[in-house]
Amino acid sequence: MAASGRWSNLGQRINTAVILAAVSLLLIWWGNTPFLLEIGVFALAGSCEAFDMIERKRLRPMRRTGTACTLLMLLGAWLGGVAGLAHATLFSVLMLLVVATLRSTQRVSMILDAACTVLCVMYVGWLFSFMILLRSLPSGAGLVTLLIGLITMTDTGAYFIGRAFGRHKLCPALSPKKTWEGSLGGLVLSSWLAYKLCPLFGLPPLHGLALGAGVSMFGQLGDIWESALKREVNLKDAGELLVGHGGVLDRFDSLAFAGPFFYLYWTYMI
């Protein structure tokens, strides 16, 4: 393959990533409320993308109720921490089941429509809420920045090392471009960055290695999960909001899976 074909969209990806990183860092360090608003905007866009994919399977998810539940989970995490998220999740699931039961007979299937809606709400609302929980911790702005840095290193290592040295397919049925070499490169770079930076947060270097490796693995699992969703509905990108990256779910699929791991490791293992 010609070099221009291999790296054709790299410039667009870098430009979008730099702008997104600058805006995100500003809001992360500005305070909890600006960060909540940022996550809320991304969650709204991500919910639309998820529901759009479900509708391509000729199902009828409860878009309005599901979107309201997604925002409720974010708000619960912001106002009440873990307990607030738990209460918001319980209320959301109950509300979705009630609405699914009383819904118009135009629905495709009560069971399938309700199940798909709950899936979308948990994927976007529940998983994204852990970013809110992480930001609320002591040194939360630094921790969120560290998490984004680890995911960025994973993506960078997987992209460049995979492009240059990738020979063995990681998961060809779901994501043909991913290789074991790229995956290992992303894991090594993420672990190295965590090893170097975690002592700044009072975390022993060996804990940093474990944290960086775990974030990389869960982030890559999140990427593969979203690839499976797109393949299920025959889509290349979940959306078109972010030039060079696709949609919100294309850009934040790794963070959605890695965020809960990072939060749980930091709060229970340290």
Element (H, E) at 211: helix 205-232
Confidence (pLDDT) at 6:
44
Confidence (pLDDT) at 236:
82
* List of residues 6+ apart from 140 with CB closer than 8 A: 32, 134
Looking at the domain assignment, is residue 136 inside a domain? yes
Q: How far is Cα 236 from Cα 145, in angstroms, rounded to an integer? A: 29
Is 137 a residue whose pLDDT tops 90?
yes
Looking at the domain assignment, is residue 3 inside a domain? no
Looking at the domain assignment, is residue 165 inside a domain? yes
Q: How far is Cα 116 from Cα 62, in angstroms, rounded to an integer? A: 9
User: What is the span of the domain harbouring residue 52?
Assistant: 9-268
Is 8 a residue whose pLDDT tops 60?
no
Looking at the domain assignment, is residue 153 inside a domain? yes
What's the structural domain count of the chain? 1
Looking at the domain assignment, is residue 1 inside a domain? no
Is 244 a residue whose pLDDT tops 70?
no
For the residues of 22-67, what is the DSSP string, one character each?
Answer: HHHHHHHHH-HHHHHHHHHHHHHHHHHHHHHHHHTTT----HHHHH
